[in-house]
Amino acid sequence: MTEQEAKERVQKLTQELNEHNYKYYILSHPTISDYEFDQLLKELEALEKEYPQLVDVNSPSQRVGGGITKKFNTVPHRYPMLSLGNTYNREELEEFDARVRKGLGIAANISATAGQAQLSFEAPQVDIQSEGVEYVCELKFDGLSISLTYENGELQRAVTRGDGTQGDDVTTNVKTIRSIPLKLQEGNWPSIFEIRGEIFMHRKTFDRLNEEYAAELREKGLDEEEILEKLYKNPRNFASGTLKQQNSADVAKRPLDAFLYFLYIDDNPFENHMESLQAASHWGFKVSDHAKVCKSLDEIYKFIDYWDKERHNLSYEIDGVVIKVNDYHQQEELGFTAKIPRWAISYKFKAESVSTILEKITYQVGRTGSITPVANLKPVQLAGTTVKRASLHNANEIERLDLREGDTVYVEKGGEIIPKITGVDTSKRKNEHAHLYITHCPECGTELIRKDGEANHYCPNDNGCPPQIVGKIIHFIGRKAMDIDNLGGETVEGLYKKGLIENASDLFSLTYDKLIGLEFEMSNEADDGKLKKRSLQEKSVQNILVGIEQSKQIPFERLLFGLGIRMVGETVAKKLAKAFGDIYKLSEATVEEMMLVDEIGDKIAESVYNYFRDSRTKFIIDKLSEAKVQLSMVDDENQLPQSNILEGKSFVISGVFAKHSRDELKGLIENNGGRNVGSISKSLNYLLAGDKMGPEKLKKASDLNIPIISEEDFEKMLLRN
C-alpha cells in the first residue's frame, strides 16, 4: 500500500467508525455488530502504527486512551461556569417565577399564584405566547460539569468546572467518552463554539466496577467495613475519580457517559434554548430526550412530580430538575447575579425515605477487634434497590436514636451506598426496653472494652477471637511482611474455618493433599442471596504452595513485623531485628535491654516482652523454625558500612543531593551510630544541606550556629572511620 492509499483508507475508516459510534452511542441504533466495529478499529490502529504521520488527534483510535497526563493544565473559561440557585419546594419556585416575571415586566402567572392553585382551572389563562414566560424543564444530572470547545467541527478542548473561572484541561481523558463526538455530524454548526454538559457514570457500570474493586480488596484481606470505606460512595464520585486519572487508558476502562445541555456561541443564531438543544442533537451531541417546554407553574410541577418518582427507573442518577427561561432575549434581559443566572434555577429532590421494621441489631467483629452494630431490616424498596441492612456505626448512634428491636424506623438513602436510619416512629413502638448493647464479643465471648474517649467497643482477645486470628494471619502474608502472593484474605478465612490453620506458622504445614479440591464459602452473596462458593483447583494450590515456599527467604525483620506484635510496626521491627540479631536473643531480652535500642520506649518494650511470655508464642516460633524461615539476620555484604563514628551526633537532612538519595543518607547516619531528627533546634549537631533547600531552614541553622555540611563533608566524616 502506498502512503497515499493508506491515507485514503485511514480517512475512510475514520469516517465509518465515527458514523457507527454515533449510531451506537447517540442514536442507540447500531447497524453493525461489535465484532465488525472492532475489526474496523483494529485495521485503523494497524495503519496508524505503520504510518504514525497519519494519526489525527481526533482519530477514533483515541477512544481507547493511552495518553498520560502528569499534571492537568489549568485553563481559564471563556464564559464563567456558574452554578445554579436551588429550590426545594413549590413556594420557592413560585418566588423564582415571580422574580423572573418582575424582571421582565410581565404580569403574574395567574394559573398558579401562591394560595390560588385550586382556582387554576377556572381562572382565565394569560396568553403565554405573547405575554408569558416559557420555561424549559430538564433533568438535573448528578455528575460533574464539563465544558467542551469545538473548532471547525472537531473537539478541541475539554475543561472541568474547577472554581468556575478556570478548570483542568482533561481533553485526553474526555476523548475516551464514546458519546462525546470527536468530529461533529454534517450540519451548520458555527466554526467555533462551546457546549456544556454533565459527565456521569451509569448506575449499572458503577455497581459492576465497585463490585470488582470490592472483590479485589476482599482478596487482599480487608474486611467488609474497610472495603466500604474504600469504595466509591456513588456514581458521581466514581465519575469524578475516573476523570482525574492520569492514564487515559484507565479512563477508557471505566465507561463514562455525558449529556450536553447548554450552548455558548458568540453570535447566537438561535431564538431560544430548546432550539439550540435540538440543533446540538443534530450536530451529533447526546442531548437528553426528556427536556420539555412548560408554559405554566402547574406544568413545571407535573414535570417535577413525574420525575421524582420515575427517576429510579433511569439508568443514571438525577438529583433534581433544572428550570430555564427558554427565550434567549429574556435570558439576556434577566442576566446574572455574581454567582448564578437569574433565568434558571434548580429544584432538588428530597432524599427518598421509607419506613420499615428494625428486626434485629447484630454485631460484626472486625479484624482488629472493633465492634460494629448492624441494623437488620425487614426488606424494603428504596430508591430502586432492596434494602436489608443499615450501618449503625457504634453504641452512641443507637443511643442517640433510642433504637429498639421491633421499632418502625425511617430509612433514607442519601448519596451513599449504605442507607441510614434517620429516626423512629415511636407511636408504633411496642418494645418497652431500651436496647442493651452487647457486653461480650459475639464471636468469642470475651468481655468487650471501650477506651476513654473512643466511640467503638473492642474485643481484647486478639489471640483467640476468630476474626482477629484470621486478621493476624492476613497481616503475616501481607506485602510488607511475608508477601505470600496468591493467598488472599478469603482463602485464609476458608482455611481457618476448615481447621487447617490456627496461626501463621500453620501455613507451613499446608500440603497439596490438604488443599486440593477444598471448598469454602466467600463472604459476599451470589445473585440468589446465597453465599458464593469457591473450590481450590490444581493451579491455585500450586501457586499457594510456591508462595509459601518462597516466603522462607524473606528477611528476619519482615518476619518479625509479620508476627503482628502490638506496637511493632515496620520500623520498630527493623530496629529490634538489627539490635538483637535473632528471634531467640530477642525473646530473652529484658524490657530494659530493649529500651536501650534507639526509639524503643517502655510501651513497645513491654509489649514485645509480653508477647514472648505468652505460652502460644513459643509454640509458633518452634513451628516457624521447623519450617526454616529466616529467624535471624543474614550478614549481607551489600549492607551499608557500619560503625559508631557518628555516635551521639544528630542530623537534619534537607534538600536534594547529587550522589545519595535522602533515604540512603539516613541509612548511613543510622548505620554509623548517628541519629536522624526532623527539625532544627539548638541541640542539633549538623544540618546536612543539599541543593534547593528552603532558605528558612538555612537561616534558622545559621542563626543557631549549627554547622551546615555538604554531602562531601559528610562522606569525609565517614572516611575517618
Which residues are known to be catalytic? 140
Mapped onto helix, strand or coil, the DSSP state of residue 300 is: helix
β-partners of residue 145 are 198
Instruction: Point out which span in 82-90, 302-310, 400-408, 526-534 binds ligand IVH (CB under 6 A).
Output: 82-90
Q: By rule CB under 6 A, what string of x and - marks binding of each residue 141-180 to ligand IVH?
A: x---x-----------------------------------
What Å distances lie between residue 494 and 181, 219, 488, 531, 535, CA to CA? 49, 12, 10, 13, 10
Nearest of 537, 532, 587 to residue 560 by alpha carbon:
587
Q: What's the Cα-to-Cα distance from 146 to each of 71, 72, 86, 217, 507, rounded to whole Å?
A: 18, 14, 20, 31, 52
User: Binding residue for ligand IVH (CB under 6 A) from 255, 341, 423, 673?
Assistant: 341
Binding mask 217-256 for ligand IVH (x = CB under 6 A): ----------------------------------------
Site for ligand IVH contains 198 (CB under 6 A): yes
CB nearer ligand IVH, residue 195 or residue 665: 195
Q: With respect to ligand IVH, which residue has the nearer C-beta, 59 or 145?
A: 145
Q: Indicate the pairing of strand 675-676 with strand 650-654.
A: parallel
Residue 83 near ligand IVH by CB under 6 A: yes
Helix (H) or strand (E) holding 666: helix 662-671
In angstroms, the CA 106 to CA 329 distance is 14
Strands, sheet with 257-264, edge to edge from the N-terminal-most edge strand: 154-160, 144-151, 192-200, 257-264
Nearer to ligand IVH, 32 or 84 (CB): 84
Contact partners, residue 498, CB within 8 Å, separation at least 6: 518, 520
Q: Considering the complex, state which of residue 140 and residue 311 has its C-beta at the smaller distance from ligand IVH.
A: 140
User: Which residues, numbered 423-452, are part of the site for ligand IVH (CB under 6 A)?
Assistant: none
Candidates 76-84, 292-300, 355-363, 687-695 — which segment interacts with ligand IVH by CB under 6 A? 76-84
DSSP helix/strand/coil, 378: strand
Which residue, 265 or 545, has its beta carbon nearer to ligand IVH? 265
Min. distance of Cβ 339 from ligand IVH in angstroms? Answer: 10
CA angle 147, 316, 17 (to 5 degrees): 60
Nearest CB to ligand IVH, comparing residues 48 and 168: 168
Binding pattern to ligand IVH, positions 318-337, x when CB under 6 A?
----x---------------
Cell of 315: 439508568
Q: Which residues of 126-157 are buried (b: 16+ CB within 10 A; e: fewer)?
A: beeeeebbbbbbbbbbbbbbbbbbbeebebeb
* Interface segment toward ligand IVH; rule CB under 6 A; list 112-120, 134-142, 208-216, 237-245: 134-142
As measured in angstroms, the least distance from the Cβ of 344 to ligand IVH is 5
Interacting stretch for ligand IVH, rule CB under 6 A, among 133-141, 380-388, 476-484, 698-706? Answer: 133-141
* Interface pick for ligand IVH out of 25, 189, 193, 262 (rule CB under 6 A): 262
C-beta closer to ligand IVH: residue 414 or 707: 414
The 346-375 site mask, x for binding ligand IVH (CB under 6 A), equals: x-----------------------------
- Residue 317's nearest CA partner among 259, 374, 368 is 259
Query: 347 near 321, Cβ under 8 Å?
Result: yes
Region near ligand IVH per CB under 6 A, out of 139-147, 152-160, 469-477, 611-619? 139-147
Minimum Å gap between C-beta 269 and ligand IVH is 19
Kindly state the DSSP code that residue 286 receives in the 8-state scheme.
-
User: What is the Cα–Cα distance from 461 to 449, expressed in whole angstroms?
Assistant: 10
Interface with ligand IVH includes 307 (CB under 6 A)? no
Q: Of these, 48, 97, 134, 138, which contacts ligand IVH (CB under 6 A)?
A: 138
HSE at residue 167, side-chain half, CA atoms within 13 A, is 23
- Calpha distance 208→49 (Å, rounded): 33
* Cβ distance to ligand IVH smaller for residue 315 or 642: 315
Binding site for ligand IVH (CB under 6 A): 82-84, 138, 140-141, 145, 198, 261-262, 322, 341, 344, 346
